[in-house]
C-alpha cells in the first residue's frame, strides 16, 4: 500500500504537473474576484472565506477525472481490481485518494493563505480558512473518487464527474465556510461546524472508497 | 490444484460471442486458446480472471498448490492468476525498475528480484530508463518480467508475444515451459504458435 502511495505521488510530480495546474486555476479564480466585485476592501474581507472555499472546491474537481482513468488506459486498473483478495480494493482506492490529495490538493491548501491576502482577510480569518480547507478538502477527494469510478470508462468524463460530485460536496462547503466565519465573526460558533466538517471527512473517507470500489469492480469491460 | 471451467458463455455488449466452453486444467499444463479475430479469446480470459461476469456457467479453482511450493490455497481465480492483457500496465513516466518494484510490492514477492527478472527477459542494464523510452517489443518484455517478480500459479496471457522478435519469443517459450514444469498453469490466447506443448481450445467454430 505504501508502494502504491509512493508510485502515485511520483507520477503526480513527474508526469502530470497536476499540482501546478490546480494552483494556477485557484489563483486565476481568486485574482479575478476583486476585479468583478470592485475595490471595496470591507466587502472583499467579508466574502473572502467563501470565495477561497469555492475556488479550492473547483480546483479540487479539476484533476479528479485522471484519478482512475490513467490507470485504466494502461491496464493497471485491471490488476488493481484483480488484487482484491490480497489488497482490499476499497483500501487501494483510499490510498489512491490520499496520494491524489497529497499531490494535487495539499498545494491548494498551502497556497490558500497567500491568496487570502488578495481578499484583504485578517490573519485569524486566513488561518481559520486554511485549517478548514485542510480538514475539509479530503472529503471532496473521497466523494470525487466515487464519481471518477463511475465515469472511468467515459473518454470525456471530467465534466460529468464535476456535475455528479458538485451537489454532494455542498455540505462540506457549507460547514467549511461557516466554520471559517465562526473564527472571525464573534457570535458565530467555530468549533461546532468545524467538528461536523471533520465528521463529514471521516464519514466520506469510508463511504467514498467503498462505493468507488464497487463501481470499479462492476465497471471493468 | 485444478482450474475448472464449466459450460462457460460470454457476451460482449449484450451479444453472445461464445457458449458451452468447458475445460479442466491440471497443474503443469497449458491451454492454448486459438481462433479467428472476434471469436471471444480475450473475453474468455477476462471472464476466467473475473474481470467480466460470465453470461452462463462458472470458473473455479480447486485444491492447493503442491507442498513443495508452499501448499498455498487460493480463495478465487483472481488471487491465483497473473493477467497479461493487451496493455502492459506500466507507467511511461516511471523507470522500468520502479514499475516492476511497485508490482512486486503490490502483488507480493516471487522467486526473482527485479534485476534478475529483467536479466531473464533480456532487458538487463536498462532498468533505469523510463518505461516510455522503450520500444514496443521491449515494453512487452518488461510486462513479461512482471509475471516473474511475483509468484502466481496461473498465468492468463492475452497475445503475449505481440511485438516480440524471434529470439524473445523463444526465450518466452522457455519461460512458459519452466513455469509449467514448476507446477504452474497457463491459459494463453494467441493466433501465433507459442512454442509450448499444451491442449488446444479452438474458439469460433460450431459446437
> What integer is the mean pLDDT of B79-108?
90
- Choose from B15, B61, B83, B106 for mutation: most chain A CBs within 10 A: B106
Helix (H) / strand (E) element for B179: namely: helix B166-181
Distance CA A143, CA A145 (A): 5
Q: Which three cell numbers stand for residue A27?
A: 489563483
pLDDT given for residue A187 in this prediction: 81
Radius of gyration of chain A (CA): 18
* pLDDT number for residue B70: 59
Q: Could you give the CA distance from residue B87 to residue B93 in angstroms, rounded to a whole number?
A: 16
**A7 interfacial to chain B (CB closer than 8 Å):** yes
Q: With 0-12 CB in 10 A as exposed, 13-18 as middle and 19+ as buried, what is B75?
A: exposed
For residues A48 and B176, what is the distance between their CA atoms, to the nearest angstrom?
Answer: 64
Looking at the complex, report in whole angstroms how far the Cα of residue A19 sits from the nearest Cα belonging to chain B. Answer: 16
Structure confidence at residue A201 as a pLDDT band (50, 70, 90): very high
Alpha helices in chain A (DSSP H): 2-11, 18-37, 41-62, 66-73, 76-82, 89-100, 106-118, 123-150, 158-184, 191-219
Q: For residue A217, which phi and psi values (nearest 5 degrees)?
A: -65, -35
Per-residue pLDDT tens for B100-147? 999 998 888 777 888 888 998 888 888 899 999 999 999 999 999 999
Highest mean pLDDT among A28-32, A158-162, B51-55, B64-68: A28-32
Chains A & B: contacts with CB separation below 8 Å: 74
Print the domain residue range for A112.
2-219
A164 and B CB contact within 8 Å: no
Sheet holding B15-26, edge to edge: B15-26, B2-12, B56-62
Number of domains in chain A: 1
Say which range, A75-84, B104-113, B141-150, B173-182, has the weakest mean pLDDT.
B104-113
β-bridge mates for residue B24, sequence order: B4
Pairing label, strands B30-34, B199-202? parallel
Q: How far apart are CA B125 and CA B119, in angstroms?
A: 8
- ipTM for the complex? 0.87
Q: Is the pLDDT of residue A109 over 90?
A: yes
**Which tens digits make up the pLDDT trace of A26-53?**
999 999 998 998 888 888 888 889 999 9
**Is the predicted pLDDT of residue B206 greater than 50, yes or no?**
no
Pick the residue of B11, B82, B102, B157 with the most A CBs within 10 A to test the interface with A by mutation.
Answer: B102
Q: What's the confidence (pLDDT) of residue B65?
A: 64
- What average pLDDT is seen over chain A? 89
Chain-chain contact of A78 with B89 (C-beta, under 8 angstroms)? yes
The verdict on a CB contact (< 8 Å) between B106 and A83 is yes
- Higher-confidence residue of A100 and A15: namely A100
> What domains lie within chain B, and their CATH numbers?
2-202 (3.40.50.300)
Mean of the per-residue pLDDT values of chain B: 86
| The length of chain B, given as a count of residues | 207
| Mean pLDDT computed over A97-102 | 93
CB contact under 8 A, B105 and A87: no
* B54 part of contact set with chain A, CB < 8 Å: no
Residue A74, pLDDT > 50, answer yes
CA closest to A81 among chain B residues: B51
Which comes out higher in pLDDT, residue A63 or A57?
A: A57
Distance from CA of A17 to the nearest CA of B (A): 12
Inter-chain residue contact A85 with B85, CB threshold 8 Å:
no
**Which chain B positions have a beta carbon within 8 Å of A81's beta carbon?**
51
Amino acid at each position: 500500500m505504501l508502494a502504491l502511495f509512493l508510485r502515485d505521488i511520483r507520477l503526480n510530480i513527474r508526469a502530470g504537473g497536476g499540482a501546478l495546474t490546480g494552483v494556477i486555476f485557484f489563483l486565476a479564480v481568486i485574482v479575478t474576484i476583486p476585479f468583478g466585485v470592485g475595490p471595496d476592501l470591507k466587502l472583499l474581507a467579508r466574502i473572502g472565506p467563501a470565495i477561497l472555499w469555492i475556488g479550492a472546491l473547483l480546483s479540487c474537481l479539476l484533476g479528479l477525472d485522471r484519478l482512475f482513468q490513467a490507470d485504466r488506459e494502461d491496464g493497471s486498473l485491471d490488476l488493481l481490481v484483480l488484487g482484491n483478495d490480497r489488497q482490499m480494493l476499497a483500501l487501494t482506492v483510499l490510498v489512491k485518494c490520499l496520494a491524489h490529495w497529497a499531490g494535487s490538493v495539499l498545494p491548494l491548501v498551502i497556497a490558500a493563505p497567500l491568496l487570502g491576502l488578495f481578499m484583504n482577510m485578517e490573519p485569524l480569518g486566513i488561518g481559520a480558512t486554511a485549517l478548514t480547507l485542510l480538514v475539509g478538502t479530503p472529503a471532496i477527494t473521497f466523494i470525487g473518487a466515487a464519481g471518477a469510478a463511475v465515469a472511468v470508462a467515459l473518454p470525456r468524463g471530467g465534466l460529468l464527474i464535476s456535475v455528479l460530485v458538485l451537489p454532494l460536496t455542498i455540505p462540506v462547503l457549507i460547514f467549511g465556510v461557516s466554520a471559517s466565519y465562526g473564527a472571525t465573526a464573534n457570535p458565530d460558533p467555530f468549533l461546532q461546524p468545524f467538528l461536523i466538517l471533520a465528521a463529514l471527512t471521516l464519514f466520506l473517507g469510508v463511504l467514498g472508497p467503498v462505493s468507488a470500489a464497487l463501481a470499479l469492480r462492476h465497471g471493468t469491460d | 490444484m485444478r482450474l475448472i471451467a464449466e459450460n462457460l458463455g460470454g457476451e460482449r455488449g449484450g451479444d453472445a460471442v461464445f457458449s458451452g466452453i468447458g475445460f479442466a486444467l491440471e497443474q503443469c499444463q497449458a491451454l492454448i486458446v486459438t481462433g479467428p479475430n472476434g471469436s471471444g479469446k480475450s473475453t474468455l480470459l477476462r471472464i476466467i480472471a473475473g474481470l467480466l461476469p460470465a453470461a452462463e456457467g462458472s470458473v473455479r479453482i480447486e485444491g492447493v498448490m503442491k507442498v513443495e511450493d508452499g501448499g498455498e490455497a487460493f480463495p478465487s481465480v483472481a488471487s491465483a492468476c497473473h493477467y497479461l492483457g493487451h496493455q502492459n500496465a506500466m507507467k511511461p513516466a516511471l523507470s522500468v525498475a520502479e514499475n516492476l518494484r511497485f508490482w512486486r510490492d503490490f502483488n507480493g514477492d516471487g522467486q526473482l528480484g527485479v534485476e534478475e527478472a529483467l536479466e531473464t527477459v533480456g532487458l538487463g542494464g536498462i532498468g533505469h530508463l523510463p518505461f516510455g523510452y522503450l520500444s514496443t517489443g521491449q515494453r512487452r518484455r518488461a510486462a513479461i518480467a512482471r509475471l516473474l517478480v511475483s509468484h502466481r500459479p496461473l498465468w492468463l496471457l492475452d497475445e503475449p508475444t505481440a511485438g516480440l522478435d524471434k529470439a524473445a519469443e523463444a526465450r518466452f517459450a522457455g519461460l512458459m515451459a519452466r513455469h509449467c514444469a514448476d507446477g504452474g498453469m497457463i491459459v494463453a490466447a494467441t493466433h501465433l504458435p507459442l512454442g509450448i506443448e499444451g491442449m488446444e481450445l479452438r474458439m469460433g467454430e460450431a459446437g
